[in-house]
Structures are given as C-alpha cells and as structure tokens.
C-alpha cells in the first residue's frame, strides 16, 4: 500500500519537475518512460524539502550510527550537504559531509576531496539520487577506498528503479549489496510511482508504458 509519506514525496518530485514522464534514455542506455533528474531542484524551498525526506530516512535506518556522509560529484554534492543540515535541524544529529571533485585540484592543498577528511575506521554513508544499473556506485567505490580504510555501510537514494543490473536475475541494488555489502535505502521505488499513477485516469497512457518497461527491466 502506498503510504501518505511516499505519496507526498512523489507529488513533490512531480511539482519540482524532477519526476518526468515521456521518452528518455538512462545512463545505462535504456529507453525509459520516466526519468528522475535531481538536477532540476533549483530553489531553497525545494532543496530544504528534499533534505527533510533524506534526513527522515537516514534517521529511520541509521540513527546517528555513522561518522560521515559522502556525496558523489556532481548531483550527490548538494544532496549530502543539505541532508547533513536537515539531520541537524530536524534531529540534532551533527555529522560531517564531504564530496569529490571530478578533476583533481593541482594547487593549494591539492587532492580530489572537499570537506571532511575521512580517517581509517570511519563509517561512511553515501547520498545519491538514483540507481539504475549501478554504474555510478562502481565509479564511487575506488574514490572512497583511496581516501582511507573506511567502512561504507549504507546508501540513500531518492528512487529505487528496481532494474536488473549487470547480472541476470539481480537488480542493481542487489548487486551493490552482494559486491560491496552496502545496504541501499530509497525514499520511494518505481512500484510506488506506478501505484500512485494508478490513482488517476489521466496517467493511463503512461501506465501502459510503465508496465512494459517494468516487465522488461524490473525485478520485484
């Protein structure tokens, strides 16, 4: 059953033009009838609202049982920064955050990381937007492994697309757990979005395309 909180988040994404329906191509090269682009959040109210959703999920799943938050460049940067602020404002949990540069800095202090400097033994959580085929997380892991001997326990995303990854029979989220031991938590899943669309007849055409796509690529 679709909870009121999930319904609220789906409507928030749609109002922010972040959840869109049409004909798109994902990072993994799949043609998809829906797309989630967190790069379309552009106001203070939007990022503050989004951060509260992330903070609530982090509090629910981890409490304060972690040391720092990592936001992969580029979209993960504002997500980690704002979620860190919301965790403090909403729950009094004060945790540092850091992110990477796409290009390593060759002047000043140098390096590719900005913000908190992880140390051996740190428990890191990753803040991202979506997982489709797991490509981004595989690019992220070497970055974190090179900064210190850290433990990456959990990852938080806006939407779990529930799509098959590189191995038949497994979603990208399942692969992340199997390969890296990282638990992935999503505010909503593609199934939640589908259930929401079923409540309004104006989405009948979108639903047909969603059903075809889910039958082809999704595992539940």
Q: What is the pLDDT of residues 97-116, one digit of tens each?
A: 999 987 665 544 446 889 99
Report, as an integer, the average pLDDT of 155-174.
91
Average pLDDT of span 71-83: 94
**Per-residue pLDDT at 162:** 93
Q: Tell me the whole-structure pTM to 2 decimals.
A: 0.91
Q: What beta strand segments (E) does the chain contain?
A: 19-25, 31-36, 68-71, 97-105, 111-115, 123-127, 130-131, 151-160, 183-189
Between 200 and 12, the higher pLDDT residue: 12
- Residue 71's pLDDT band, with cuts at 50, 70 and 90, is very high
Average pLDDT of span 155-181: 91
What's the chain's average pLDDT?
A: 91
Burial 53-88 (b: 16+ CB within 10 A, else e): bbbbbbeeebeeebbbbbbbbebbbbbbbbbbbbbe
More confident residue, 106 or 62: 62
Number of other CB atoms surrounding residue 179 within 10 Å: 15
Its CATH class, for the domain covering 4-102+117-217, is: alpha beta
Task: For residues 116-145, give the mean pLDDT.
Answer: 89
- pLDDT tier at 61, thresholds 50, 70, 90: very high
Q: Choose the catalytic residue: 45, 102, 107, 202.
A: 107
Q: In angstroms, rounded to a whole number, what is the distance separating the alpha carbons of residues 175 and 166?
A: 8
CA distance 103 to 89: 32
8's tokens: 């609220």
What was the pLDDT predicted at 6?
97
Q: Which of 5, 105, 198, 208 is catalytic?
A: 105
Q: What is the mean pLDDT of residues 77-90?
A: 97
Q: Where are the domains of the chain?
A: 4-102+117-217
Q: Each residue of 171-207: pLDDT tens digit? A: 989 999 999 999 999 999 999 999 999 998 999 999 9
107 is catalytic: yes
Active site residue 185: no
């Amino acid at each position: 059953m679709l909870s009121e909180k999930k319904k609220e988040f789906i409507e928030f994404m749609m109002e922010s033009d972040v959840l869109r329906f049409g004909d798109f191509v994902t990072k993994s090269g799949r043609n998809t009838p829906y797309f989630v682009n967190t790069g379309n959040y552009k106001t203070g109210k939007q990022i503050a609202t989004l951060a509260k959703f992330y903070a609530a999920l982090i509090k629910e799943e981890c409490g304060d049982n972690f040391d720092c938050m990592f936001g992969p460049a580029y979209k993960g940067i504002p997500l980690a920064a704002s979620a860190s602020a919301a965790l403090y404002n909403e729950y009094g949990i004060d945790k540092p955050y850091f992110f990477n540069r796409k290009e390593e800095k060759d002047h000043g202090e140098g390096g590719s990381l900005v913000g908190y400097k992880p140390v051996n033994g740190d428990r890191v959580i990753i803040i991202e937007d979506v997982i489709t085929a797991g490509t981004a997380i595989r690019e992220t892991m070497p970055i974190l492994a090179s900064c210190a001997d850290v433990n990456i326990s959990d990852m938080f995303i806006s939407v779990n697309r529930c799509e098959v990854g590189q191995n038949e029979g497994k979603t990208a989220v399942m692969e992340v757990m199997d390969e890296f031991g990282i638990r992935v938590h999503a505010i909503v899943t593609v199934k939640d979005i589908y259930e929401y669309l079923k409540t309004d007849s104006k989405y009948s055409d979108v639903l047909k395309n969603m059903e075809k796509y889910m039958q082809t690529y999704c595992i539940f």
